[in-house]
């Protein structure tokens, strides 16, 4: 635990040294109990950003198995109790491990898009987060990240990138309709993505910019 805390403090120090981080909504993260942190994925620092902002020692995430080949990265993932995921197949072992971790009352971070957006805007999400939330019976906290996609370019110009992270309120998805499982998984996935999109500037909303549910959320926020 001490090693994990040292690692978190060190990474937080680097973020504040080499960027300007603005975080809002951290009060929406429960002090105890399982939940899924569900961010958009625009830059290589997204997972590290969430890790340094969430002040709970039981926060971890799913990590692509391809990074196991790197001994340093493999050790860092071990320190934070990361769960290895094989993206090339239906990794039932990783899903079970993630479900068990959540049901223990811990926090798991997973980007619904499954991969980094090359444009910075939202891309169509996969249904894995919606499926896992249903299996584990936990709420979801949407997270909207901006600025991590500009980090390298800003550093090349000897400027500090401005990074923002907005944490939304926890919400629970509707139960899956077992007569239309795929349809209800897609509906719930769209709900997650539209809640993320509602916290993002218009230029980041991408594939969900014209979604009817997003328009409902934005209108409700205005009202």
56: closest CA among 167, 171, 130? 167
Classify 222 as helix, strand or coil. helix
CA atoms in the 13 A half-sphere facing the CB of 209: 10
SS3 at position 153: helix
Tokens, residue 95 = 């899903």
Write out the chain's pLDDT in tens, 223 residues.
688 888 899 999 999 999 999 999 999 999 999 999 999 999 999 999 999 999 999 999 998 888 888 888 888 888 888 999 887 777 889 999 999 999 999 999 999 998 999 999 999 999 999 999 999 999 999 999 999 999 999 999 999 999 999 999 999 999 999 899 999 999 999 999 999 999 999 999 999 999 999 999 999 886 6
pTM of the model: 0.94
Side by side, the strands of the sheet bearing 162-167 are: 20-24, 162-167, 140-146, 35-39, 107-109, 59-64, 83-85
What's the pLDDT score for residue 67? 83
Distance CA 126, CA 91 (A): 14
Q: Tokens 């999109």 sit at which residue?
A: 197
**What pLDDT does 223 receive?**
60
Q: CB under 8 Å to 81, separation ≥6 — which residues?
A: 60, 101
How many domains is the chain built from?
1
Instruction: Determine contact, residues 170/28, Cβ cutoff 8 Å.
Output: yes
**Beta-bridge partners for 121:** none
Q: Domain range holding 118?
A: 2-222
Name 38's Cβ contacts closer than 8 Å, sequence gap at least 6. 109, 110, 111, 112, 129, 140, 141, 142, 143, 192, 196
Q: What is the CATH number of the domain that holds 195?
A: 3.40.1130.10
Length of the chain equals 223
pLDDT of residue 1: 61
H/E run at residue 166: strand 162-167
Round to whole Å and give the CA distance between 150 and 131: 32
């Amino acid at each position: 635990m001490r090693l994990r805390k040292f690692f978190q403090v060190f990474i937080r120090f680097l973020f504040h040294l080499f960027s300007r981080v603005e975080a809002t909504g951290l009060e929406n993260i429960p002090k105890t109990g399982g939940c899924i942190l569900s961010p958009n994925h625009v830059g290589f620092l997204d997972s590290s950003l969430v890790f340094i902002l969430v002040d709970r020692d039981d926060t971890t995430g799913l990590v692509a198995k391809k990074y196991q080949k790197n001994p340093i990265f493999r050790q860092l993932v071990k320190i934070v109790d990361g769960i290895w995921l094989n993206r090339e197949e239906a990794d039932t072992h990783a899903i079970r491990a993630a479900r068990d971790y959540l049901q223990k009352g811990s926090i798991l971070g997973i980007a619904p898009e499954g991969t980094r957006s090359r444009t910075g805007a939202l891309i169509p999400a996969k249904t894995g987060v919606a499926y896992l939330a249903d299996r584990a019976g936990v709420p979801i906290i949407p997270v909207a990240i901006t600025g991590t996609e500009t980090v390298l370019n800003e550093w090349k110009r000897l400027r500090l990138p401005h990074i923002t992270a907005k944490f939304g309120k926890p919400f629970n998805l509707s139960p899956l309709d077992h007569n239309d499982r795929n349809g209800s998984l897609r509906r719930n996935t769209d709900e997650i993505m539209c809640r993320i999109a509602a916290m993002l500037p218009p230029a980041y909303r991408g594939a969900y910019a014209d979604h009817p549910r997003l328009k409902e959320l934005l209108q409700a926020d205005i009202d």
